[in-house]
Amino acid sequence: MRRLLPLLLALALTHLAHAADSVSVKDAWVRLPPPGAKIVGAYLTLEAKQPTTLTGAKSPAAGSVEMHTMSMNKGVMQMRQIPSIALEPGKPVKLEPGGLHLMLVELKKPLKAGDIVQIDLHLSPRKGKPETLRVPAVVRAPD
């Protein structure tokens, strides 16, 4: 139980919704990277309270964070970097494996299951000031 408790706390933490004025976020997680990997996908669900643009992200755990889409091109899955993601109220946007996702690039140290990675989302609401939402994402293997 001693060993399990931090993990349970981490899971409870990441299932909570984290909210800024413009957007709330839930179910944030980072794929457990293979040993030595310097780049890894991160996933979460965004729910806008007003029309908002996700203009970028950063993390203290990585050199940079990119926004990617995945699509099939001549039978090959390809990732493409995109500059922003538009969010509308009532239309939650799920960043998930095989689709839209965040990519942590140049990981600063190895990640293990149960670690919490902070991801800062840069949000630009149509009305109001740009804001940054810090989201804790738990490191785990995909379901």
Tokens of 75: 């039978």
CA–CA gap between residue 103 and residue 40 (Å, rounded): 6
- CA contacts within 13 A on the Cβ side of 121: 34
- Shortest distance in whole angstroms from residue 55 CB to Cu ion: 18
Q: Which is nearer to Cu ion, 16 or 79 (CB)?
A: 79
In terms of C-beta density within 10 A (0-12 exposed, 13-18 middle, 19 or more buried), how is residue 14 classed?
buried
- The residue range among 11-19, 43-51, 97-105, 132-140 that interacts with Cu ion, by the rule CB under 5 A, is 97-105
DSSP 89: T
Q: Tell me which H or E stretch contains 93.
A: strand 93-95
Least separation, in Å, of the C-beta of 5 and Cu ion?
33
* 100 interacts with Cu ion by CB under 5 A: no
Nearer to Cu ion by Cβ, of 4 and 77: the residue is: 77
Contact residue for Cu ion among 26, 49, 58, 68 (CB under 5 A): 68
Q: Which of 13, 32, 100, 103 binds Cu ion (CB under 5 A)?
A: 103
Under the rule (CB under 5 A), what is the footprint of Cu ion?
68, 79, 103
